[in-house]
Chain A
Amino acid sequence: MEIMQTLRQYIFDNILFEEDATLQAETSFLDSGIIDSTGILEIVAFIEQCYNITIEDQEIVPENLDSLQAISKFVQYKIRCFC
Chain B
Amino acid sequence: MARCRFCLLTDHIPGVRLDTQGVCQYCRQGEQSRQRDRQQRAELKAKFSTLARERAGQAAYDCVVAFSGGKDSSYTLYLMREVYHLRPLAMSFDNWFQSERALWNVRQVAGRLNVEQVTVRPGFRDFQEVVRLCLKPGLFPRKAMQRASAVCTLCLSMIRASAFKLAIEKRIPFVVFGLSPGQAPVSTAVFKTHPAMLEKMQSSLQRTLETQLSFPIARYFLQQDHLQQAQDFPYSINPLVFEEYEEQKIFDLLRDLGWKPPEDTDANSTNCLLNTLANQIHLQQYGFNPYIFELSELIRHGSLARREALERLSSPVKENILEKVEHKLCNEAHHGDYADTAAIHF
Q: Taking beta carbons and an 8 Å cutoff, which residues of A are in contact with B?
A: 13-18, 30-31, 33-42, 44-45, 57-58, 60-63, 65-66
Residues of B within 8 A of A15 (CB): 141-143
B200 close to A66 (CB less than 8 A)? yes
**7 A-B contacts, Cβ less than 8 Å apart?**
A15-B141, A15-B142, A17-B143, A36-B141, A41-B191, A45-B187, A57-B193
**9 closest Cβ contacts across the A-B interface?**
A17-B14, A57-B192, A17-B15, A30-B204, A45-B187, A15-B143, A62-B200, A41-B187, A37-B201
Instruction: Please judge, given known A-B contacts A45-B186, A57-B192, whether A37 and B197 are in contact too, CB under 8 Å.
Output: yes
A45 close to B14 (CB less than 8 A)? no
A57 close to B188 (CB less than 8 A)? no
Instruction: Please judge, given known A-B contacts A45-B187, A60-B194, whether A39 and B141 are in contact too, CB under 8 Å.
Output: yes
In addition to A14-B15, A36-B141, A39-B141, 11 A-B residue pairs with Cβ atoms within 8 Å of each other are A31-B204, A33-B204, A36-B140, A36-B143, A38-B143, A38-B147, A41-B185, A41-B187, A41-B191, A42-B185, A45-B185
Q: Taking beta carbons and an 8 Å cutoff, which residues of B are in contact with A?
A: 14-15, 140-144, 147, 185-188, 191-194, 196-197, 200-201, 204, 208
Measured CB to CB, the nearest residue on chain A to B40 is A45
CB distance from A25 to the nearest CB of B (A): 18
C-alpha spacing A45/B141, complex, angstroms: 19
Residues of A within 8 A of B196 (CB): 61-63
Residues of A within 8 A of B186 (CB): 45
Instruction: Please judge, given known A-B contacts A58-B194, A61-B196, whether A30 and B201 are in contact too, CB under 8 Å.
Output: yes
Other-chain contact of A57, B15, B194, B201 (Cβ < 8 Å)? B194
Other-chain contact of A61, B140, B147, B197 (Cβ < 8 Å)? B197
C-alpha spacing A39/B147, complex, angstroms: 10
C-alpha spacing A35/B193, complex, angstroms: 16
B187 close to A13 (CB less than 8 A)? no
Residues of B within 8 A of A42 (CB): 143, 185, 187
Residues of B within 8 A of A60 (CB): 193-194, 197
A38 close to B197 (CB less than 8 A)? no
